[in-house]
Structure 1
Amino acid sequence: MKNFVKWILSLTLLLGFLSPIVARAQESSDFEALDYEEILKEADGSTVNFYGWGGDEALNKWLDEEFAPTLKEKYNITLNRVPMDIDQILSQLLSEQQAEASESEIDMIWINGENFKTARENDLLYGPFTDKLPNYQDYVDGEDAENTYDFGYPIEGYEAPYSKAQLVFIKDSSVTEKSPATAEELLNYAKENPGTFTYPALPDFTGSAFVRNIIYEFVDYEEFQDMEADKEVVKKAIQPALDYLNELKPYLWSEGKTYPSDGPALNNLFMDGEVAFYETYGAYDVANGIKDGSYAETAESFVFDKGTIGNTSFIAIGKNSIHKAAAIVAINEMLSPEMQLSKYQELGEIPVLDNDKLKDEQQEAFAAVDLGSGTIPQDELLEHRLPEMPAQLVPIIEEIWLEEVAGE
């Protein structure tokens, strides 16, 4: 009889332990069964938290004044923008995972590259979910390499495109007449005008992109697509670029003894006239700078003849997000032609939609956008677009730069 009672008690405790797990599994299963119209109903009246880097004031303004009001008016969803660096976001997600938290306030996440790879490998994201987005199906080319791989890492429906970026150089043509078209021409310029060029210290993402672009000047990007993530292998491959960067170093601003901490710090040097060039992932930042008076009207952007690195940033959803329905509706709205057009008009961000999938009047609306002064036409820019390196190679390259260039 005693053994029977112990068995009953053990079974009761086990069922008590399993009940929340079963309930969560059932809840997850129920959500997966919802179609988009049902997701819309569940999202009605909720708040969605959008976590991401908050350093772009123009984007922040657009989110607060254009996107958020649209979500509220069309779907009765309140957007709560949470400015936070991605490493902090991932750290919080990992902490919640380790604490076995079943719910998280982290709903939408602005993410890409090695951070997406880290998040996926640690099972921090919800998905796949792009199959639930009508606008993804209708307007996005799901077969395009930029929508199937993020820095060479398979996406598999765990993030949706947010905007496209491409590295460009900005100069004041009244001060610097000739635009270096190659790495060699840039080196010659630096030697003739010492102290007037520099780039942000790695691992800043703009500085890192510049270094990778220099690597592509010497080594074909295809060589890296299947390269082993081994430090010695990578170092051997990029040695010509390392030699170049070390030859360039003494002619940099501050003689290469220090580097700007990030893109904004470099931009300040450019606006103050201390350096002649500014590098940015914002392909149309020059027009905004001219418009707000921070750049001279003679400012213009340019790219290398071989091209410059472009990538797509994405929006993911936290695995234990408590507002998954609202996140899906919000991301779907972000992919609407109306929102992409607004972002293109207001911010000059390259749209992520497939032009061939748009209606004639929508194509005409995008084509009619005036990108402003000093910009490169979109078709010309995209013709000079180079793919990103696989995510696993990026931190290796940054480590090598710190040792072989910054440390020299």
Structure 2
Amino acid sequence: MFKKKVVSLALVITILLLSIIGCTSPQAQKQEENVLEQEWKEVIASAKGTEVNFYMWGGSRTINQWVKGYVAKNLKEKYDITLNMVPMDATDFVNKLLGEKQIGKKEGTIDLLWINGENFKTAMDNELLFGPFADNLPNYNRYMNTDSKQITTDFGFPTKGYEAPYSKAQFIFIYDQNKIEKAPYSFEELIAWVKSHPGKFTYPALPDFTGSAFVRHVIYEITGGYEQYYNLEDEAEIRKKIRPALEFLADLEPYLWREGETYPSTIAQLDNMFADGEVLMSMGYDPSKATSEIVKGTYPDSARTFVLESGTISNTNFLAIPFNSPNKAGALVVANFLESFEAQLSKYNPENWGALPVFSYDKLNDQEKEELADLDLGIATLSQEVLDKHSVPELPADLVPIIEDEWNKIVGK
């Protein structure tokens, strides 16, 4: 009697496991087999009346409201798709997918991901993503510069069509035009300004994200650009190549705030120093930062933004579809909508989010350019056209820890 109960329980468990992790519904199996071969109108038809689970970072109320409001409303009205926003850190949902891959769960719960950087590389290395799908999106081909490294690489790692661009961030410098008559637009002018205004410039100590990005700009300028680093794998050679830039920064220390004896520990500390007039420049990864701080009353109304003539680092964050998404057609339609001019313009509006759009300005028609020009970005935000013309890509993600280690040895010792 006891043995029979054990066998029965084991059988029930086995059946449940098979139904949960080992099987794929006929609808999902059919989508996986042919969704990338379908005409776009067929993809839209397949997605009609379905639900799409969008897993994304949920730490911003502003972003969450835009997704659950504007995006969800338009998807329902245009495509009869119900969007479910599921807040979760990227590392957590990548680990979730890793676990599902290991146990053979062919039909999961995630349809669409907001992802980039090391999390994308981990997902690709472990075959966690569906695709390549980017070329199947009409808006990807209509609005994106598909030859740009900012679209085809993610922190130096080839996207291979397994990601579709979603938003951009770009490094900017901030200054007070009442105290600095003319912004130093070239790297040489910036360094000359720093030396002629000792104690009025600094940057956050590494590994602060913004401080680390500033140091990468110096590496680009001193060592001859970013291209040479994409094919470097030998760590000793990388350290040798970046050393002249770090020695340059060490030599610059006597002209920095407190003569470089100490650095702000965070970008927030540097922002406070700029607001108090202790230093005359700040920096950031959000081109709308100065405008936002003016609106908050943190920065003076005379705060303005500039980028270097040679370009400032920008990176892209992306959308991806898991290997076991149960609704790949729906995920494709949602991704395509998020890449539309309409959605990107709404996202760019500071009242909605303020995130940089991923479309190429050169691919917009006259009416779209006019709508873009009419958007009020605030008095201290540079135009999309200016930012696009002064943009350079990130280094591969695995170089960043090496740079930070060398900075601590040579500069921050």
- Same fold at TM > 0.5: yes
Shift of 1:253: 6.9
**Contact (CA 8 Å) 1:197, 1:276: kept in 2 or not?**
no
Q: Deviations over 1:172-206 (max 9, x none)?
A: 3335556444556656666745376332532x543
Q: 1:176 to 1:51 in 2, by over 3 A?
A: farther
Q: 1:40 to 1:368 in 2, by over 3 A?
A: same
Shift of 1:254: 10
Partner of 1:117: 121
Aligned partners of 2:405, 2:98: CA distance in 1, in Å? 24
> What's the % identity of the aligned pairs?
43
Shift of 1:92: 2.9
Shift of 1:269: 5.2
**1:229 maps to which of 224, 228, 233:** 233
Q: Is residue 2:46 matched to residue 1:65? A: no
Aligned partners of 2:279, 2:58: CA distance in 1, in Å? 26
Aligned partners of 1:283, 1:30: CA distance in 2, in Å? 41
Shift of 1:286: 2.0
Shift of 1:162: 1.1
Q: 1:326 to 1:230 in 2, by over 3 A?
A: same
Q: Is residue 2:201 matched to residue 1:199? A: no
Q: 1:256 to 1:142 in 2, by over 3 A?
A: same
Aligned partners of 2:212, 2:384: CA distance in 1, in Å? 24
Unaligned runs of 5+ in 2: 1-13
Q: Which amino acid is 1:260 matched to?
A: S
Q: Is residue 2:374 matched to residue 1:361? A: no
**Contact (CA 8 Å) 1:117, 1:391: kept in 2 or not?**
no
**Contact (CA 8 Å) 1:152, 1:389: kept in 2 or not?**
yes
Shift of 1:313: 2.0
Q: 1:189 to 1:364 in 2, by over 3 A?
A: closer
Q: What's the TM-score, normalizing by structure 1?
A: 0.81
Shift of 1:298: 0.9
Q: Which amino acid is 2:324 matched to?
A: N
Shift of 1:210: 1.6
Aligned partners of 1:68, 1:201: CA distance in 2, in Å? 39
Shift of 1:213: 0.9
**1:351 maps to which of 351, 357, 361:** 357
Q: Which amino acid is 2:40 matched to?
A: Y
**2:245 maps to which of 236, 241, 257:** 241
Q: Deviations over 1:345-390 (max 9, x none)?
A: 3344433223444333223222333322023343333332223223
Aligned partners of 1:247, 1:178: CA distance in 2, in Å? 25
Aligned partners of 1:272, 1:103: CA distance in 2, in Å? 55
Q: Deviations over 1:59-86 (max 9, x none)?
A: 3443333223222322233333344433
Partner of 1:398: 404
**Contact (CA 8 Å) 1:171, 1:300: kept in 2 or not?**
yes
Partner of 1:260: 265
Partner of 1:372: 378
Residue pairs, 1:83-98, within 5 angstroms: 83-98=87-102
Q: Compare 328-337 and 149-158 and name the one that shifted more.
A: 149-158
Q: Deviations over 1:261-316 (max 9, x none)?
A: 4x556545544656543322212222233234343211101123432112222211
Q: 1:195 to 1:175 in 2, by over 3 A?
A: closer
Q: Which amino acid is 2:83 matched to?
A: L
Aligned partners of 2:409, 2:89: CA distance in 1, in Å? 25
Count, aligned residues = 391
Shift of 1:234: 0.9
**Contact (CA 8 Å) 2:203, 2:214: kept in 1 or not?**
no
**2:294 maps to which of 278, 286, 290:** 290
Aligned partners of 1:254, 1:43: CA distance in 2, in Å? 60
Q: Deviations over 1:141-190 (max 9, x none)?
A: 32333322333322221011112321101233335556444556656666
Q: What's the TM-score, normalizing by structure 2?
A: 0.80
Aligned partners of 2:144, 2:35: CA distance in 1, in Å? 24
Aligned partners of 2:292, 2:42: CA distance in 1, in Å? 40
Helix, strand or coil: the match of 2:106? coil
Residue pairs, 1:137-286, within 5 angstroms: 137-175=141-179, 179-181=183-185, 192-194=197-199, 197-199=202-204, 201-202=206-207, 204-248=208-252, 251-252=256-257, 257=262, 259-261=264-266, 263=267, 266-267=270-271, 270-271=274-275, 275-286=279-290
Aligned partners of 1:134, 1:255: CA distance in 2, in Å? 51
**Contact (CA 8 Å) 2:200, 2:281: kept in 1 or not?**
no
Helix, strand or coil: the match of 1:158? coil
Q: Which amino acid is 2:312 matched to?
A: T
Q: 1:327 to 1:271 in 2, by over 3 A?
A: farther
Q: Which amino acid is 2:203 matched to?
A: T
Helix, strand or coil: the match of 2:78? helix
Helix, strand or coil: the match of 2:132? coil
**Contact (CA 8 Å) 1:201, 1:259: kept in 2 or not?**
no
Q: Deviations over 1:295-341 (max 9, x none)?
A: 32111011234321122222112222233232211111111121122
Aligned partners of 1:405, 1:92: CA distance in 2, in Å? 39
Partner of 1:382: 388
Q: Compare 204-213 and 268-277 and name the one that shifted more.
A: 268-277
**Contact (CA 8 Å) 2:149, 2:393: kept in 1 or not?**
no
CA RMSD of aligned residues (A): 3.4
